[in-house]
Structure 1
Amino acid sequence: MKKSARILSLTMALLLASTACGTAADPTVTDTTSTADTTTAEQLSGEYVNPNVDYGGQTIRAASYDWRGDFWRVADYNLFLTEENGDVLNDAAVKAKRRVEEELNVKLEMFELGAANKPDEIITAVMAGDDEFKFGMQMQIGMPKLLGDTSILVDLNSVPTLDLSHSWWDQNAVEAYSLYGKQYAAVGDICYYSKTSLISYFFNQQMIIDNNLDNPYDLVREGKWTLEKLDQMVRDVSRDLNGNTEYDTDDQYGFMGERASMAYTLIGCGQRFSDRDESGDIEIVINTPRTVDVIERFLKLINDPSCSLPVYKHEKNFDNVWVDLFLAKLKDNTALFFSNQLYVALNMRDMEADFGILPLPKYDETQKDYYTTTSSWWSDNLIIPATNNELEMTGHVIEALGFYAQQYVTPAFVNETVISKTIRDEDSVEMINILYDSVIYDMAMIFEWGGVVNLVNKLPLKDTGFASTYAAEESKILASLASTVKTLKGEQ
């Protein structure tokens, strides 16, 4: 088990013990996080050491987004909240921030970005030489633009007080963002949205029981949670509930997904879009027999109106298809699986039936591991602007915030996501560990060279297969990759 999983398991074990004394609505659950924090901090005392510095109350601004008010409840939270309100996750974020402020004698503030997921404000500030913020949390969708000019960001390897080998940094992301000797971005517990945007499968536990289906958790443990098993279970539960012999939203379905479900399924099946060759160069690796097979099989499933509700077929018929259709059907026991991001669980607190969380299905039983990825629109990445001339202090702040986010915020999120429900807690923690330890950061999914990922995600809308579609776009994809590599190498 990786270090991150061991830490999460320790913290979660303490939280689980607390559930005998209260529920998610019980204030005693909020109190239990302090016990978990103390014990975990003692376990990690050799890893994080208070630097014993005093920055005289200096204000440190971090460029980030304030999306409070969005229909997804995950947007109610960020690491720069200022007031406790009794909400477990809110108060955990406030506590982490205060610990950093007190320990280093600084004041942390958000430099709010108003350009949605775009990095324009960061680029403009750097080009103007403005030192308005010391670090930032940039959404993955905007990273290609930031990395399109290597003078915009600081190489994180040059920050003397930043150690990306610590357990509060995702080593898969550190490795992925290590580009030709430079490290311009990282992901870890400090990246609240990245920790919550892992692609997973939600399932309705009551429908599993009512239809006498295999226990999904046992399938995962036994390596039998595969694309074939998904197809079987989806078709087993689908019903024409209203008896009108038509496939409409009043019927019972096995699968609901989003536009990117095709790309996510490929990742789950162990098929990447890009990888590194022996010399460390990035190469496109999507054009394989496995890709063709996965796409053909998954297309048959999601394009079958008798068992699937894909978003592209229904979004125009609802003001908010996510809430009004997908979440509604999962909650009223008329949909078995919903593939989306982990944070969706925060919108399911009022669900009467139990729900469960699973990793993406494997290709087949011979595939050793489960894999997941994150949403480019919701996963944030740590960056430092080139205008920062106080790297030592910034490193101290980032490391402290990452550590205390690991101690307080991540456990609180998991607590609110799964332990607040009445499903078996040990199963939930095990699945979350699998998700956190199996994240793939595929550079092609970040840079989207020549539209290679969108090409795959649009296949459900077309009559053509993958092979011919890719062949028509391959030269553009490879040229786009080559241009990026030259930039990263400093050759243009």
Structure 2
Amino acid sequence: MKKAITLLLLCSLITSLVSCGEAASSGDTTADTDSGAADTTEPLSFADAHAQTKDGLPAMDFGGEEFVITINNYTGCEAGFLAEETNGDVLNDAVYKRNTAVEERFNVKLKYESGAYDAIPGQVTKSVTAGDDYYQLCNQHAASALPWVTGGILMNWQEMPHVDFSQPWWSPSNDADLTYNGRAYLAVGDFGLTTIGRTYAIYYDMVEAESYKLPDLYEMVYDGKWTFDTMLSYTKDTYRDLNGNGTEDTFEDLYGFSTSVGTNVSAFYWAFGGKIMDKGEMVLDIEKMADIATKMIDVCWNYPGTAYDPGYANASGNRNYLGVEKMAQGTTLFAAAMIDSGILYLRDSVNDYGILPYPKWDEAQKDYYTVVDLGFTVMGIPKSVVNVERAGILAEALCAETYRTVVSPYYEMAIKQKGA
């Protein structure tokens, strides 16, 4: 049986999810005044707390009609939607259970149409402008969904019947950040698992951490002392020339910190409390942004313990996974990566690994922050949809059923286990 890691720290960073291992209910112990005996209520497990949460949707029969849902084939996205049958894979079987439960409950046939993330927006726009009642629920790579909003082809989520953004399967950001003047054309919910998977975190090699006699890093996080300078202090003297050729080799030698270009690095800006806009107001702190940029440039280009290769791309052409690929082969102490890296690369990693939040800028920073990569999934309902009530019910049901049946297994695959 291979490796389990602590989830509590990471789960606390991801909206709409309770922490694994925490009580989902208060679990208070109360006294029985008649008998004098104590009645202890056992806290629900993470999975049970999710499974027992009801949605309150009405009983409806949609007569076996097709409900067409768009998805994109960007890295890892399809796995959260498609499952033709059970096959023993934890995630596949949970997705199959979710799809089947919704189909049977509402007598509807879910039809998923997958395509390239940069092609789906045009296909949907063409259909909607032609007045076709074909696409019912559209899931899209967030960075590519803007044309739907500016093109005015989506309905307002805030007016959708049976959609309740206060429920735990919807992100609080739907009300706090994605709604403006009472309108929200895109929404984020558990139906799009990449909201979890594209969240950034710091992976660390437990074996190397022990060999360098690092303190308990989880305790450090809880104590509020996990800062960027602290992390760097552990990485600066970590480099080892593993192949003994006297040359710094990005993949073959051991480094203290490894990261790819792009959002793996820019995520530190948000982790350090940086903001650009808040409720439509510019809140950019130019001085702090300059300090962060200067620090990151120095760490990536000049720091002896950092493996950073701006020209790196893996066999699939993806540039985001240098750090986690080194983590898989046991040649980095820390790596910046997304949560779905646990599924894609680390299930057969050489050493045990743990996951931490991105560090704070300094101890004066109150909280730990993270950011979700723009490859995560957002949802929209086209204006051409005729049966609006059905669209609202099924959008709510798919998010709720994902929360009940898929989220916990997804955590198991992405975070807690590395394979048998």
Instruction: Tell me the C-alpha RMSD between the 2 structures.
Output: 2.7
- Give the structure 2 partner of residue 271 of structure 1: 274
Deviation at 1:117, TM superposition (A): 6.4
Conservation of the 8 A alpha-carbon contact between 1:199 and 1:374: yes
Cα distance, 1:226–1:353 mapped onto 2, change above 3 Å: same
Which residue does the alignment assign to 1:83? 85
Q: 1:385 to 1:402 in 2, by over 3 A?
A: same
What SS is found at the alignment partner of 1:181? coil
1:355 to partner: Cα distance: 0.7
Residues 174-193 of structure 1 mapped to structure 2, 5 A cutoff: 174-193=175-194
1:408 maps to which residue?
A: 405
Between the aligned partners of 2:80 and 2:242, the Cα distance in structure 1 is: 42
CA distance in 2, matches of 1:202, 1:332: 13
How far, CA to CA, are the matches of 2:225 and 2:321 in structure 1? 32
What is aligned with 1:209? 210
Equivalent position of 1:310 in the other structure:
308
Which range is displaced more, 251-260 or 128-137? 251-260
- Report how far residue 202 of structure 1 moved: 1.2
How far, CA to CA, are the matches of 2:180 and 2:60 in structure 1?
Answer: 32
1:169 aligns with 2:170: yes
CA apart distance, 1:391: 1.2
- Work out whether residues 11 and 411 of structure 1, in 8 Å CA contact, stay in contact via their aligned partners in 2: no
Higher helix share: 1
> How far apart are 1:267 and its partner, in Å?
0.2
Selected match of 1:262 from 261, 265, 271: 265
Cα distance between partner residues in 2 of 1:335 and 1:7: 28
Shift of 1:138: 1.2
Unaligned segments of structure 1, at least 5 residues:
14-34, 277-281, 423-492
Point out the more displaced range, 337-346 or 48-57. 48-57
- Cα deviations across residues 5-37 of structure 1 (Å, max 9, x unaligned)? 437556999xxxxxxxxxxxxxxxxxxxxx976
Shift of 1:76: 5.7
Q: Provide the rounded CA distance (Å) in 2 between the counterparts of 1:367 and 1:51.
A: 45
For 1:235 and 1:394, the matched residues in 2 are separated by 54
Instruction: Specify the alignment match of 1:99 in structure 2.
Output: 101
Code of the aligned partner of 1:60: F
* Compared CA separation, residues 158 and 385, structure 1 to 2 (3 A): same
Question: Contact conserved, 2:346 with 2:418, CA < 8 A, in 1?
Answer: no
Following superposition, the deviation at residue 304 of structure 1 comes to: 2.1
CA contact (8 A) 2:47 2:408 kept: no
Q: CA deviation at 1:196?
A: 1.1
Written as runs of structure 1 = structure 2, the 5 A alignment for 1:17-166 is 40-42=50-52, 44-45=53-54, 48-66=55-73, 74-75=76-77, 77-116=79-118, 119-149=121-151, 151-166=152-167
Q: Secondary structure of 1:289's match? A: helix
Tell me if the contact between 2:117 and 2:141 (Cα under 8 Å) persists in the aligned partners: no
**AA matched with 1:105:** N
Contact kept? 2:102, 2:398, Cα under 8 Å: yes
Distance 1:40 1:177 in 2: 25
Query: Secondary structure of 1:4's partner?
Result: coil
Match of 2:232 in 1: 231
Change (3 A) 1:311 1:92: farther
SS at structure 2 position matched to 1:339: strand
Counterpart of 2:16 in structure 1 is 4
* Distance change >3 Å, CA 157–CA 12, structure 1 → 2: closer
Q: Do the aligned residues in 2 keep the contact of 1:78 with 1:192 (CA within 8 Å)?
A: yes
Shift of 1:89: 0.4
CA distance in 2, matches of 1:381, 1:226: 31
Letter in 2 for 1:103: R
Distance 2:408 2:190 in 1: 10
CA separation of 1:7 and 1:131: change in aligned 2, threshold 3 A: farther
Distance 1:395 1:325, change over 3 A: closer
Report if aligned partners of 1:96, 1:405 keep a CA contact under 8 Å in 2.
yes
Contact 1:135–1:382 (Cα < 8 Å) also in 2: yes
Structure 1 range deviating more: 239-248 or 335-344: 239-248
Question: In 2, are the aligned partners of 1:156 and 1:185 still within 8 Å (CA)?
Answer: yes
Corresponding residue of 2:389: 392
**Could you say if the C-alpha distance between residues 127 and 99 of structure 1 is closer, same or farther in structure 2, counting changes exceeding 3 Å?**
same
1:233-254 residue CA offsets vs partner (Å, 9 max, x unmatched)? 2213123334544322232211
How far off is 1:172 after superposition? 2.3
TM-score, normalisation: structure 2? 0.84
| Post-superposition CA distance 1:120-159 (Å, at most 9, x none) | 112111111122111111111112222222x211001111
Instruction: Answer whether contact 2:154 2:382 (CA < 8 A) is retained.
Output: yes
Cα shift at 1:58:
1.2
Judging changes above 3 Å, is the alpha-carbon distance between structure 1 residues 76 and 211 closer, same or farther for their aligned structure 2 residues? farther
Query: Which residue number in structure 1 is paired with residue 295 of structure 2?
Result: 297
1:379 to 368, 376, 390: 376
How far is 1:176 from its partner? 1.2
Secondary structure in 1 aligned to 2:219? helix
What amino acid is aligned across from residue 303 of structure 1 in structure 2? W
Partner residue, 2:282: 284
In terms of mean alpha carbon deviation, does 293-302 or 1-10 score higher? 1-10
Deviation per CA, 1:48-99: give whole Å up to 9, x if none.
12411111111101111245xxxx6x34612242211110001001101111
The 2-side partners of 1:274 and 1:409 are apart by 33
Confirm or deny: 8 A CA contact 1:118 1:141 kept in the other structure.
Answer: no
Deviation at 1:321, TM superposition (A): 7.2
Whether contact under 8 Å (2:236, 2:303) holds in the other structure is no
- Aligned-pair distance for 1:112? 2.4
For 1:117 and 1:409, locate their aligned partners in 2 and report how far apart those are by CA, in whole Å: 28
Letter in 2 for 1:300: D
- The one-letter amino acid paired with 1:296 is T
For structure 2, the 5+ residue unaligned runs are 1-11, 26-44
CA distance 1:36–1:222, shift in 2 (3 Å): closer
Whichever residue aligns with residue 261 of structure 1, its letter is: N
What TM-score comes out, normalization by structure 1 length? 0.72
Deviation at 1:197, TM superposition (A): 0.8
SS at match of 2:62: coil
Q: Deviations over 1:327-352 (max 9, x none)?
A: 44212322112212100001211113
